[in-house]
Amino acid sequence: MQRTIPAGLDRKEAAIFLQLDPARLPRHIAIIMDGNGRWARRRHMPRVAGHRAGVESVRSTVETAARIGVPWLTLYAFSEENWKKRPKTEVGFLMKLLGRFLKQEVPALNKNNVRLEYIGRRHELPADVNERMEWARAETAKNTGLVLTLALNYSARSEIVDAFRSMADAAARNGGLSHLHVDEEAVAQHLYTRHLPDPDLLIRTSGEMRLSNFLLWQCAYAEIYVTSTLWPDFRGTHLLEAIAEYQKRERRYGGLNEDRIHDAVEDNEFAPHKAAHR
Ligand code: FPP
């Protein structure tokens, strides 16, 4: 049967897209964008040139995700650690870049039906950046396609701490701590990501094998895909390659696959005397 190629994909993207099973696209993709500094260093350029080049990668990735119908994309743009441990000039540059990005990208986000959201401790960001963020969110609020969530001044541990505080505050408002109800669902409802399902696929660029304090609670069952491609070289084709790899994985959520259960039953592996030795 002839498959329809989504409008806007280039030839290379279309070729990879045709290998995908459209019924098994990851619903939520999260990306740790890494390698801007190394990209710049290899070209004998200042680090900020890598960040500037990284904007084109954001654009391409968002457009491709929107075009193929991924519902949720979350980008780790700026960690709390980045904020505290990088030179002030680099942090200032990143803030300016973000402000400019938001202003410039709104028309393209609207054209691609993308809605903007944010996670992170926003109140610690400069007031003018916050105003621009709010403006961009309002401008895209009616869009019904991809939800693009930018993680800004984000740290997963701070998010979990904030969730516990928020649960305790809610209980206090409801008559005291004896009304505190804690289970996984309750914690998830107090995280910054309450508007999102858990990521199915976590991509990290530039080859580092770390989670770097990103969505630690939410990535409990995410498939992790690490590519050596540096973020400023990452494009829609790389996103599609990551999805192709994701579709080869078998997701078990801690269980067994059908074949494994069948073999185990055949071999009588669940007999009490055998099971006791595991
Ligand atoms: C990590 O590279 C990247 C960042 C800290 C910033 C990410 C920002 C962008 C991709 C720019 C644009 C984004 C938006 C949303 C406007 P690194 O500097 O840690 O690289 P290195 O590990 O090679 O030094």
Of 72, 140, 58, the closest CA to residue 106 belongs to 140
List pLDDT tens digits, range 37-85: 999 999 999 999 999 999 999 999 999 999 999 999 999 999 998 878 8
- The torsion defined by the Cα of 108, 195, 98 and 114, in degrees rounded to 10, comes to 0
The answer to whether 225 and 242 have CB atoms below 8 angstroms apart is yes
Look-up of token digits 């109800």? 181
Q: Delimit the domains of the chain by residue range.
A: 25-277
The pTM assigned to this predicted structure is 0.92
Check whether domain 25-277 has CATH 3.40.1180.10, yes or no: yes
Question: Is 34 marked active-site?
Answer: yes
Using most ligand atoms within 8 A of CB, pick from 31, 34, 39, 149 the residue to mutate for ligand 1. 34
Using most ligand atoms within 8 A of CB, pick from 31, 33, 82, 234 the residue to mutate for ligand 1. 33
Question: For residue 231, how far is its CA from the centre of ligand 1 (angstroms)?
Answer: 8
The answer to whether residue 167 scores a pLDDT higher than 70 is yes
Helix axes 47-68, 236-248, angle to 10 degrees: 60
Q: Whose CA is nearest to atom 8 of ligand 1?
A: 77
